[in-house]
Amino acid sequence: MSEVVFVRRLSPGTKSVLAVFARYGTIIGLLAMIAAFSLLSPRAFPTVYNFTNVLNQASLAMIIAGGLTLAVIVGELDLSIGFAASMHGVLVTGLIVSSGLPIPVAILLVIALGGLIGLINGVIVTKIKVNSVIGTLGVGTILTGLSFAYSAGVPITAGVPEAFLQVSLGRWLFGIPNNIVIMAAVLGGLWVLVERTPLGQEIQAVGGNHAAARLAGIDVDRIKILGFVGSGMCAALTGILLASRLGSGTTSAADPYLLTAFAAVFLGSATLRDGEFHVFGTFIGALIIAFGFNGLSIFGAPTYSQYIFQGAILIIAVGLSSLGRILSQR
């Protein structure tokens, strides 16, 4: 009988080229994009003013994406964030304008409410065992309805005090825009939480292998709920800052942040680590999107091209992310 030999191996060369691309592709892409825009538009693009402006614009997306990062690290998706942020924007404006609450009180109250909505999301997903895509989509839709009910769909613009606008537009610390300061504090705090605390190790463990985390004695449900709470609080903060920047509480104003946040988070997971979500990666992901938008507008590309860019970047991001994961498992 002739012997049959079973040999199936992948070429290691192909594999390592792909692995480098999967890890550093996003950073290489970011640098290439900055270099290309700088060459094409040397006067308008590579300036301190423009870079500060890009970062300022991107800060709101970075905060909401930072929160979403927590939810995805624990292995869940939070689709309520955009709708929640819109509702929080309407609510905080209404509380200040109509109810006459002091600005700091209204802000803290709305952030706490964001945490409560996260808690509700978490309970729905972990205790009632509703798939997180469906559960958070349902909650988000309800929140949109509530925000219409609260404002009757009319933007709250009249009587918004200048002091509230200054929360987002001010430069209270060394002339740095407040948005950037707040974003740096939030992302810095999240990074410390995830990478440097015991709780962060548990968060990573739950997302990495929830069966193993459970048997190691970690309360998996509690950690998942915490992930949603963090996500909900960041969504509230983004909603508040957007209302402050626009000077109005407008229903659906923050809805587009959902897609931006997901694109940033998935681009981030393809950054440096093989398909693992992490806070620094999310920051890089959000920067790529921000510079992309900025470049498009500097070159006068029509508004619709931003949607095409964002949709394409989301698919590329998820593709890169799963490529990294596949390679790390080989």
Contact residues toward other proteins (CB under 8 A) are 1-6, 8, 192, 196-199, 201-202, 204-205, 208-209, 211-219, 274, 276, 328
3-state secondary structure of 249: strand
Shortest CB 214 distance to other proteins, Å: 5
Cβ contacts of residue 178 below 8 Å, gap of 6+?
166, 167, 168, 169, 170, 171, 172
Output the smallest distance, CB 274 to other proteins, in A.
7
Which is nearer to other proteins, 163 or 196 (by Cβ)? 196
**Burial class of residue 259 in the structure, from the number of CB atoms within 10 Å of its CB (0-12 exposed, 13-18 middle, 19+ buried):** middle
Residues in the chain: 330
Q: Give the amino acid at 255.
A: D
How many helices (H) and strands (E) are present in the chain, helices listed first? 13, 0
Q: Which is nearer to other proteins, 61 or 74 (CB)?
A: 74
Say if residues 26 and 278 touch (Cβ distance below 8 Å).
Answer: no
Nearest residue (CB) to other proteins, 63 versus 213: 213
Q: Which is nearer to other proteins, 255 or 274 (CB)?
A: 274
Q: Which is nearer to other proteins, 257 or 266 (CB)?
A: 266
SS3 257: helix
Closest distance of CB 234 from other proteins, Å: 21
Give the C-alpha separation, 179 to 52, whole Å.
Answer: 11
State in angstroms the smallest separation of the CB of 118 from other proteins: 21
In the complex, the smallest distance separating the C-beta of residue 209 from other proteins, rounded to whole angstroms, is 5
Backbone angles phi, psi at 293, to 5 degrees: -60, -45
Q: What minimum distance in Å lies between the beta carbon of 4 and other proteins?
A: 4
Handedness of CA 313, 317, 320, 326 (dihedral sign): negative
Nearer to other proteins, 220 or 242 (CB): 220
Question: In whole angstroms, what is the distance from residue 164 CA to residue 143 CA?
Answer: 23
- In the complex with other proteins, which residue's Cβ is closer, 223 or 253? 223
> Least distance in Å: CB of 70 to other proteins?
17
Residue closer to other proteins by CB (options 50, 201) is 201
Residue 205 CB, shortest distance to other proteins, in Å, is: 6
CA proximity to 208, closest of 264, 122, 275, 261: 275
How many whole angstroms separate alpha carbon 139 and alpha carbon 44?
43
The C-alpha atoms of residue 298 and residue 199 are separated, in whole angstroms, by 43
